[in-house]
């Protein structure tokens, strides 16, 4: 397959996050998205007839988190399964074998340890807008954040640390933020991210990642320490570039 820059621009035009990536960085993101589509296989779940534009958009959303990490961070698995809507897996909702489920009653996304990422196109389309409570929502970033998390000791909320990072600090900062949000939730205070974040440390990291890329101003304001560590991990400063 060969895509043009114009095809790519048109496919990602309605995703507000893209305004942040300009010049050299935008070119790098486009090239990475093209390489993503060469290395990965997007296949249809059910009989969904998806388009090239959909593939380009998914690849771009998947590559935003790893833009300054490298495509190798998605090695060791190959397939993205794309459904038209939510899908229902024929197995128990949550097991301890590395399967991580996404939010919602029907599943809108899922990432398997060393297996495929499964996505619902309907949910991806809801992604560009904040949900009614002004919270971030990006199922692609969510599921691919699980993939990064799984690179170290399974999905536990802690991806591999860079040499200049401390896993002890990561643990302390995320635990403190988690405890504070649990307390806020108990007192019915509004949270800066969806409640689903408080399901498990893995979901917490995935939802924090969605918030970091979609509405960084909220994350920096409400969770400055988590924001700082996510800047270090993703090697990006989403606010400076806005």
When binding is defined by CB under 5 A, the residue of 20, 63, 81, 102 that contacts Zn ion is: 102
Residue nearer to Zn ion on the CB measure, 56 or 119: 119
Stretch that binds Zn ion, among 6-14, 60-68, 167-175, 204-212 (CB under 5 A): 204-212
Residue 178: CB minimum distance to Zn ion, A: 15
Backbone phi, then psi, for 43, in 5-degree steps? -120, 160
For the chain, what is the HEC assignment? CCCCHHHHHHHHCCCHHHHHCCHHHHHHHHHHHHHHHHHCEEEECCCCCCCHHHHHHHHHHHHCCCCCCCHHHHCCCCEEEEECCCECCCCCCCCCCCCEECCCCCECEEECCCCCEEEEHHHHHCCCCCCCCCCCCCHHHHHHHHHHHCCCCCCCCCCCCCCCCCHHHHHHHHHHHHHHHHHHHHCCCCCCCCHHHHHCHHHHHHHHHHHHHHCHHHHHHHCHHHHHHHHHHHCCCCCCCC
User: How many residues make contact with Zn ion (CB under 5 A)?
Assistant: 3
Choose the binding region for Zn ion from 60-68, 87-95, 127-135, 202-210 (rule: CB under 5 A): 202-210
Looking at the Cβ atoms of 209 and 236, the one nearer to Zn ion is 209
Q: Is 136 in the site for Zn ion (CB under 5 A)?
A: no
Smaller CB distance to Zn ion: residue 34 or 121?
121
Q: Binding to Zn ion by residue 206, rule CB under 5 A?
A: yes
Nearest to 147 by CA among 220, 65, 213, 216: 65
Q: How far is the CB of 111 from Zn ion (least distance, A)?
A: 7
Q: Which residue is nearest to Zn ion (CB)?
A: 102
Choose between 11 and 203: whose C-beta lies nearer to Zn ion: 203
Q: Show the site string, 6-45: x = touches Zn ion by CB under 5 A, - = not.
A: ----------------------------------------
Residue with Cβ nearer Zn ion (102 or 127):
102
Q: How far is the CB of 92 from Zn ion (least distance, A)?
A: 16
Footprint of Zn ion on this chain (CB under 5 A)? 102, 203, 206
């Amino acid at each position: 397959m060969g895509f043009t820059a114009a095809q790519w621009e048109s496919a990602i035009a309605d995703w507000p996050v893209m305004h942040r990536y300009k010049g050299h960085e935008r070119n790098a993101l486009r090239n990475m998205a093209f390489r993503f589509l060469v290395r990965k296989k997007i296949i249809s779940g059910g009989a969904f007839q998806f388009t090239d534009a959909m593939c380009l958009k998914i690849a771009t959303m998947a590559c935003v988190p790893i833009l300054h990490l490298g495509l190798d961070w998605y090695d060791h698995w190959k397939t993205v399964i794309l459904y038209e809507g939510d899908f229902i897996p024929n197995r128990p909702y949550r097991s301890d074998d590395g399967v991580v489920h996404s939010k919602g009653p029907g599943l809108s996304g899922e990432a398997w340890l060393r297996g495929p990422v499964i996505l619902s196109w309907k949910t991806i389309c809801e992604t560009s807008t904040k949900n009614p409570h002004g919270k971030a929502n990006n199922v692609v970033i969510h599921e691919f954040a699980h993939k990064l998390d799984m690179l170290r000791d399974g999905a536990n909320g802690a991806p591999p640390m860079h040499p200049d990072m401390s896993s002890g600090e990561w643990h302390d900062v995320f635990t403190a933020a988690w405890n504070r949000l649990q307390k806020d939730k108990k007192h019915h205070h509004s949270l800066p991210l969806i409640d689903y974040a408080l399901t498990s440390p893995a979901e917490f990291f995935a939802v924090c990642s969605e918030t970091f890329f979609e509405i960084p101003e909220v994350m920096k304001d409400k969770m400055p320490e988590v924001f700082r560590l996510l800047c270090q991990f993703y090697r990006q400063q989403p606010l400076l570039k806005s």
